[in-house]
Amino acid sequence: MTITQINLYRYDIALKAPIAISLGTIEHARNLLVEIQTEAGITGWGEGSPFWMIVGETQASGLAAAGDMARLLLNRDPLDIEGCLNTLVRYLPGHPTTRSAFDMALYDIAAKAANMPLYQFLGGSKQSLVTDETIYINAPERMAEDALRIQANGAEAIKVKLGTNARDDIRRVEAIRNALGDTMPIRTDANQGWDVITAQTVLRAIGGWNVQYCEQPIRRHDIAGLRQIRQSSTVPIMADESLFDATDAIRLIREEAVDYFNIKLSKSGGIFEALKINAIAEAAGVPCMIGCMSESRLGLTANAHFASARQNIRFYDLDGCFEHASDPVQGGIVYDKYQITLPDAPGIGAEVDPSFLNGLDKVSIHRSAA
């Protein structure tokens, strides 16, 4: 089997409203879509969601890089996933989100060629997944209202974005806890917004309020600071922006810096690297969460397949499409409130609606242009 053509799409999806985290505000899901075609008639789909403030990529930079990446993959065997991805990494280190879209499409092709749903191709089984829902930074009373809405909708856990200052962040969690009562777990995420002292202050204040963990309290490179916070906190610490690849995973474990890992395909470069991260974590006894950026249900379905195939994935944060104003995906995971059901079709089992696809900017890279 060989790759004959790759189509790249500017995959814009409107949001219901802007969403705010400590690193910035997102007004649109500006994603990128990769379609890999083969001479065997099998097509693979992949999606990347470049959060510039986390991965250092934008949609524009990703699409520019994707053109070069596509040319490198023409005429190659898509089933040689490791070989294809190593070629991309050697040519253009970095760009994990862009690479993740190619990775996803290659795995889609391989699972379709094997006539297996992706979770089965990865050696796993179909699991029951339950996602949380995220509350973004706002006034404490508004965040408490959002928490009550999510609780009334049947959520089992709520994720709360923090990372401004100690006083306001404590007030946010306090307002949410008072509104919800004591039983529903709160998962907090500062997105690098604190320093060590602020993190210790906030976590000490909220430690008795059934807080399940805190994601990335401080800057991603400060591993010593993460270890210091972990040692002083009753709230478990989860690495997110500090964890891009397997090398980061080894360092975090060696330094005993965190209790949990947050794996995101758009951050890790895709499934191939995510499998390595999870294997390292599992060997070290570090449970993982599958997270997301602002993917549509196509990318979220690939994330869910990965999570279902690995028992070390204990937490699920696959709510990115909840903020989208429209759903352009056919097939894919099905949400029953917060319960996620995976498709059984071969491959990822999701594609973009052709009518939506036809309205997107597209660049085609094919053999005659190689």
Name the residues annotated as catalytic: 161, 189, 215, 240, 264
Can you tell me which residue has the tokens 């071969």? 346
Helix axes 223-232, 246-254, angle to 10 degrees: 50
Nearest to 300 by CA among 279, 325, 327: 327
Phi-psi region of 343 (alpha: psi -120 to 50; beta: other; left: phi over 0): beta
Nearest to 70 by CA among 32, 35, 97: 35
In whole angstroms, give the CA distance from residue 146 to residue 59.
Answer: 30
Both tokens of residue 123? 């050696």
Nearest to 211 by CA among 186, 184, 176: 186
Q: Answer yes or no: are the C-beta atoms of 301 and 270 closer than 8 Å.
A: no
